[in-house]
Structure 1
Amino acid sequence: MVAIQNSSHTLTPETTLRDIIKTIPAECFEKKPLRAWLSVLFSVAAAALGYASITFSPWYLLPFAWILTGTALTGFFVIGHDCGHRSFSNKIWVNDLVGHIAFLPLIFPFHGWRFKHDHHHLHTNKMGEDNAWYPFTVAEYEQGKGLISNVYRMIRTRFWWIGSILHWANLHFDASLYPERQQKQVKFSYRLVIAFALIVFPVLIYTTGLMGFVSYFVMPWLVYHFWMSTFTIVHHTMPDIQFKEKDKWHAATDQLTGTVHCDYPVWVEWLCHDINVHVPHHVSTGIPAYNLRLAHKSLDENWGKYMYKTKFSWELMKDIGDRCHIYDSEKCYKTFAEVDASNKA
Structure 2
Amino acid sequence: MSSTQTTTTTEKVYKDALGRDFVPPDFTIKDILDAIPKRCFERSLSHSMLFVLRDVFYSSTLFFLATNIHYLPSVYLRFAAWTVYTIAQGMVFTGFWILAHECGHGAFSDYRLINDIVGWILHSTLLVPYHSWRITHSKHHKATGHISRDMVFIPKQQERYLQSRYITELAEEAPIMTLYFLLVQQIFGWPAYLAVNVTGQKYNVPFYKLSHYLPSAPMFDAKDFWDIIISDVGIALVSTLCYLAIQKWGVANFVLYYFIPYLGVNHWLVCITYLQHTDASLPHYDASEWNFARGAAATIDRDFGFIGRHVFHEIIETHVAHHYSSRIPFYHAEEATVAIRKVMGQHYKQDKTNLLVALWKSARTCQFVEGDGVKMFRNGNGIGPKPVYMSLKKKE
Q: TM-score, normalised by structure 2?
A: 0.76
CA deviation digits over 1:23-61, x for unaligned, max 9?
000000001222111111111112112323432332222
How do 1:200-279 and structure 2 match up within 5 A? Answer: 200-256=241-297, 258-276=298-316, 277-279=318-320
| Residue 186 (str. 1) matches residue 249 (str. 2) | no
Unaligned runs of at least 5 residues, structure 2: 1-23, 70-77, 172-176, 198-211
SS of residue matched to 2:369: strand
SS of residue matched to 1:243: strand
Q: Which amino acid aligns with 1:161?
A: Q
Which of 172, 193, 199 is the matching residue for 1:167? 193
Which of 33, 41, 50 is the matching residue for 2:45? 33
Tell me the equivalent position of 1:55. Answer: 67
Whether the 8 Å CA contact 1:54–1:215 is kept in 2: the answer is: no
Q: Which amino acid aligns with 2:52?
A: V
Q: Which amino acid aligns with 2:100?
A: G
SS of residue matched to 1:175: coil
Whether the 8 Å CA contact 2:364–2:381 is kept in 1: the answer is: no
Tell me the equivalent position of 1:333. Answer: 377
The alpha-carbon distance between structure 1 residues 145 and 210, as it changes in their structure 2 partners (threshold 3 A), is farther
| Aligned-residue CA RMSD (Å) | 2.7
Which of 30, 50, 56 is the matching residue for 1:18? 30
Q: Which amino acid aligns with 2:228?
A: V
Structure-2 separation of matches of 1:90 and 1:331: 38
Q: Which amino acid aligns with 2:194?
A: W
The alpha-carbon distance between structure 1 residues 19 and 317, as it changes in their structure 2 partners (threshold 3 A), is same
Which of 46, 52, 57 is the matching residue for 1:45? 57
The alpha-carbon distance between structure 1 residues 332 and 218, as it changes in their structure 2 partners (threshold 3 A), is same
CA deviation digits over 1:217-250, x for unaligned, max 9?
2110111111101110111110121111121112
The alpha-carbon distance between structure 1 residues 298 and 55, as it changes in their structure 2 partners (threshold 3 A), is same
Structure-2 separation of matches of 1:50 and 1:134: 37
1:128 Cα shift?
1.3
Structure-2 separation of matches of 1:142 and 1:61: 46
Higher relative contact order (CA 8 A, sep 6+): 1
CA deviation digits over 1:132-174, x for unaligned, max 9?
2111123334568999xx9x97785454323223212224212
The alpha-carbon distance between structure 1 residues 209 and 336, as it changes in their structure 2 partners (threshold 3 A), is farther
The alpha-carbon distance between structure 1 residues 332 and 156, as it changes in their structure 2 partners (threshold 3 A), is farther
Whether the 8 Å CA contact 1:78–1:272 is kept in 2: the answer is: yes
Structure-2 separation of matches of 1:207 and 1:328: 54
Whether the 8 Å CA contact 2:284–2:375 is kept in 1: the answer is: no
Tell me the equivalent position of 2:146. Answer: 126
Whether the 8 Å CA contact 2:31–2:343 is kept in 1: the answer is: no
Whether the 8 Å CA contact 2:178–2:363 is kept in 1: the answer is: no
Whether the 8 Å CA contact 2:44–2:110 is kept in 1: the answer is: no
Whether the 8 Å CA contact 2:365–2:381 is kept in 1: the answer is: no
Percent of aligned pairs sharing the same letter? 24
SS of residue matched to 1:247: coil
| Residue 69 (str. 1) matches residue 93 (str. 2) | no
Structure-2 separation of matches of 1:117 and 1:155: 27
Q: Which amino acid aligns with 1:134?
A: I
1:327 Cα shift?
1.8
SS of residue matched to 2:285: coil
1:106 Cα shift?
0.7
The alpha-carbon distance between structure 1 residues 293 and 183, as it changes in their structure 2 partners (threshold 3 A), is same
Q: TM-score, normalised by structure 1?
A: 0.87
Structure-2 separation of matches of 1:209 and 1:241: 47
Tell me the equivalent position of 2:132. Answer: 112
1:180 Cα shift?
1.1
1:337 Cα shift?
5.2
Q: Which amino acid aligns with 1:296?
A: T
Whether the 8 Å CA contact 1:70–1:222 is kept in 2: the answer is: yes
Higher percent of residues as helix = 1
CA deviation digits over 1:176-227, x for unaligned, max 9?
22111112211221232123212x1122212321111111221101111111
Unaligned runs of at least 5 residues, structure 1: 1-10
CA deviation digits over 1:310-334, x for unaligned, max 9?
1241321111011111122277223
Whether the 8 Å CA contact 1:300–1:307 is kept in 2: the answer is: yes
